[in-house]
């Protein structure tokens, strides 16, 4: 097991899904910024250190696994100053093409996973009288693009949950924010689960969507750039509620806010090749 030195002085962070992509980059960036970090992975053993990151086992869909992970992290770190709820995955397909079981599994990880880990960490932060929670949302948490209905639903849910929670826990010295990355080059694409009830009716528009997705991937941000946003949100004296990460996310957040709805709708449909 990795030992930590400088226990009293350093801020501490717990990150879910730190085995790859944004979570891994954020774990490394937070360590570099002076945090003592523990990350989680479903595949971790109890004594793992991988690429310099202390990893403990946690499946965010299991109440028991989350309780055990938070208790182990708290015991090792002594306090938890920062929680990054990052674990998540996507479904590829039209809304109608996914079974209820698949959609339930998505919400269980992307939404209830965040609720489970947050509920396990909040008593610790309330007792400390301080803490910060960063939920990894998405540009799709404010722009519901086609062929992403369920994923987009989970990320919209995180937006509402985070804003409500921030109002409730501020009195305890705890603040909550959402990080909103645009398309980012990680293992996300390979861990995206294909819809389990494909329909021929969507073949043409799905193909067009895939072309648009390919374009977005070609211009995708790096996990390291999202990690920089996470470090900034962790350290901001007066945290914002939302942190769009990268140029594309900031541009679409601006367009969503200020363009007339009909114009926004037209631009979005043309981007995805929809008539």
Ligand X SMILES: NC(=O)c1ccc[n+]([C@@H]2O[C@H](COP(=O)([O-])OP(=O)(O)OC[C@H]3O[C@@H](n4cnc5c(N)ncnc54)[C@H](OP(=O)(O)O)[C@@H]3O)[C@@H](O)[C@H]2O)c1
Sheet with 48-50, edge to edge strand ranges: 48-50, 53-57, 36-41, 12-15, 82-85, 131-136, 174-181, 242-245
Close Cβ partners of 118 (under 8 Å, ≥ 6 residues apart): 83, 85, 133, 165
State yes or no: residue 195 binds ligand X (CB under 6 A): no
**By C-beta, is 95 or 193 nearer to ligand X?**
193
Site string for ligand X, 42-81 (x = CB under 6 A): xx--------------xxxx--------------------
Residue 96: count other Cβ atoms within 10 Å of its Cβ: 12
Question: Does residue 151 have an active-site annotation?
Answer: yes
Strands (E), the chain: 12-15, 36-41, 48-50, 53-57, 82-85, 91-92, 131-136, 174-181, 184-185, 193-194, 221-222, 242-245
Name residues contacting ligand X, limited to 18-37 (CB under 6 A). Answer: 19-23
State yes or no: residue 98 binds ligand X (CB under 6 A): no
State yes or no: residue 86 binds ligand X (CB under 6 A): yes
| Active-site pick, 35, 107, 151, 243 | 151
State yes or no: residue 138 binds ligand X (CB under 6 A): yes
How many DSSP H helices and E strands does the chain contain?
10, 12
State yes or no: residue 229 binds ligand X (CB under 6 A): no
CB 180 within 8 A of CB 88: no
CB 80 within 8 A of CB 73: yes
State yes or no: residue 41 binds ligand X (CB under 6 A): yes
Query: Which residue, judged by CB position, is nearest to ligand X in the bound state?
Result: 21
Site string for ligand X, 147-186 (x = CB under 6 A): ----------------------------------x-xx-x
**Nearest distance, CB of residue 89 and ligand X, angstroms:** 5
Helix axes 223-235, 21-32, angle to 10 degrees: 50
**Nearest distance, CB of residue 23 and ligand X, angstroms:** 5
**By C-beta, is 94 or 226 nearer to ligand X?**
226
Strands 242-245 vs 174-181: parallel, antiparallel or unpaired:
parallel
Query: Interface with ligand X by CB under 6 A: which residues?
Result: 16-17, 19-23, 41-43, 58-61, 86-89, 109, 113, 136, 138, 181, 183-184, 186-188, 191
Catalytic center residues: 151
């Amino acid at each position: 097991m990795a030992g930590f030195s400088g226990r009293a002085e350093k801020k501490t962070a717990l990150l879910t899904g730190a085995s790859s992509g944004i979570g891994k980059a954020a774990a490394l960036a937070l360590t570099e910024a002076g945090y003592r970090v523990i990350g989680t992975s479903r595949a971790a053993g109890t004594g793992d250190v991988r690429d310099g990151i202390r990893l403990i086992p946690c499946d965010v869909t299991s109440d028991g696994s989350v309780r055990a992970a938070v208790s182990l992290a708290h015991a090792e770190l002594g306090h938890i100053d920062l929680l990054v709820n990052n674990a998540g995955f996507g479904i590829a397909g039209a809304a109608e093409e996914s079974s209820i079981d698949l959609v339930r599994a998505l919400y269980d990880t992307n939404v209830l996973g965040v609720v489970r880990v947050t509920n396990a960490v909040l008593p610790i932060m309330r007792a400390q009288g301080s803490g910060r929670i960063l939920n990894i949302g998405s540009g799709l948490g404010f722009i519901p693009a086609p062929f992403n209905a369920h994923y987009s639903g989970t990320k919209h849910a995180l937006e509402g949950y985070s804003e409500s929670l921030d109002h409730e826990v501020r009195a305890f010295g705890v603040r909550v924010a959402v990080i909103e990355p645009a398309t980012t080059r990680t293992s996300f694409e390979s861990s995206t689960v294909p819809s389990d009830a494909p329909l021929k009716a969507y073949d043409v528009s799905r193909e067009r969507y895939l072309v648009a997705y390919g374009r977005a991937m070609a211009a995708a941000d790096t996990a390291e750039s999202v990690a920089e946003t996470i470090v900034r949100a962790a350290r901001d004296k007066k945290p914002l509620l939302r942190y769009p990460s990268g140029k594309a996310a900031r541009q679409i957040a601006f367009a969503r806010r200020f363009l007339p709805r009909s114009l926004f709708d037209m631009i979005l449909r043309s981007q995805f090749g929809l008539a």
